[in-house]
Structures are given as C-alpha cells and as structure tokens.
Amino acid sequence: MAAHAHQPDCIFCKIVRDEIPSSRILETDHAVAFLDINPVNKGHVLVVPRHHHADLTELSQSVAAHLGGLLPKLCRAIQAATGADGFNVIVNNGEAAGQTIGHGHWHIIPRFHQDPVNWPWPHSEYVGDELGQMRFRIERELKPGAGDE
C-alpha cells in the first residue's frame, strides 16, 4: 500500500506538521522524534516517519533503514540523559499488538532495575514439526516478488 503525505485526522501527522505541540528531540527530512506524552518511564521517546504509514509493513526499505539508523544515537542520548540501566525498543503493529495510533512509530523506553514495568512477556513452545513448518511458511513469503518494498 502506498504511503500518504499526511492524514488530516492523524495525531502524529499533526505533530509532524507542527499543528499540535510536541517535545521534539530530533528531526530529519524523513523522521521526527519526540517525548511520549504518557511515558512508560520518563524519557520515553517516539520516533515516527514524516509521511503517514499505518505500520511497519508499509515503510519502504530506505525509510525503515533511515529510522532504524537513528536508533543507536537516540538510545545513547536517552540512556545518558535518564541514567537508565537499559531500554526497550518496541514497535506495536496493529490493534492486536497494542497499537493505538495508526501512524507507525518506534518506542524507545528507558528501563531501570526494579522498575514496575510488566516485562518480559510469556514464552510458548513449538510442538512436533511446528517449528519447521513455520520456518517453511515464512521463507516462502520471503521469496523474491513476495512482499518486496
């Protein structure tokens, strides 16, 4: 699906266009990073592409690489500024995964030993040939022509 320049009702498009206030910490031609207004921990930052994309699957490889390339520098700055012991980098994609704002974004969440954040999540197990079957199904989708850019 093609990305749109902006969606008039999208809160992050409004932030990118400076139509509503935000606490920006970094911006480039393709991305804006700003403080999450209701942080998991203080210093929680969101990184968004300037153009409206519903989620990660709609990003071109080059825009995704650009945003991903900003992460180490942003994470170093957030960790130094907050004194965090670690951090989580998370992208929620789709309502089922907890995405509430339909303009794809990366979360950078500073973490502290003994903080009250409910993490890690539970793990399950593969049974029988489920692991091999899953590998086959994903590899088939990765074949050239399926899901490129």
- Among residues 6, 66, 105, 123, the one annotated as catalytic is 105
CB of 116 to Zn ion, least distance (A): 31
Name which of Zn ion, ligand AMP, none residue 83 binds, using a CB cut-off of 5 to 8 Å depending on partner kind: none
Coil/strand/helix, residue 131: helix
Q: Which two tokens stand for residue 18?
A: 């400076």
Say whether residue 32 binds ligand AMP (CB under 6 A): no
Residue 146 buriedness (CB in 10 A; 0-12 / 13-18 / 19+): exposed
Instruction: Go through the chain and tell me how many residues it has.
Output: 149
Which residues contact Zn ion (rule: CB under 5 A)? 7, 10, 12-13, 52, 103
Selection from Zn ion, ligand AMP, none that 109 binds (CB < 5 to 8 A by kind) is: none
Residue 120 within binding range of ligand AMP, rule CB under 6 A: no
105 tagged catalytic: yes
Q: Is 11 in the site for ligand AMP (CB under 6 A)?
A: yes
How far apart (Å, rounded) are the C-alpha atoms in residues 33 and 88?
A: 16
Which tokens in the block code for residue 133?
């079957």
Ranges of beta strands (E only) in the chain are 24-27, 31-35, 45-49, 86-90, 106-111
98 touches, from Zn ion, ligand AMP, none (C-beta below 5 to 8 Å by class) = ligand AMP
Using CB distances below 5 to 8 A depending on partner kind, what does residue 13 bind out of Zn ion, ligand AMP, none?
Answer: Zn ion
With the C-alpha atoms ordered 78, 84, 90, 92, is the resulting torsion angle positive or negative? negative
Site for ligand AMP in 49-88 (CB under 6 A): none
Q: Is 114 in the site for ligand AMP (CB under 6 A)?
A: no
Q: Which residues are part of the catalytic machinery?
A: 105
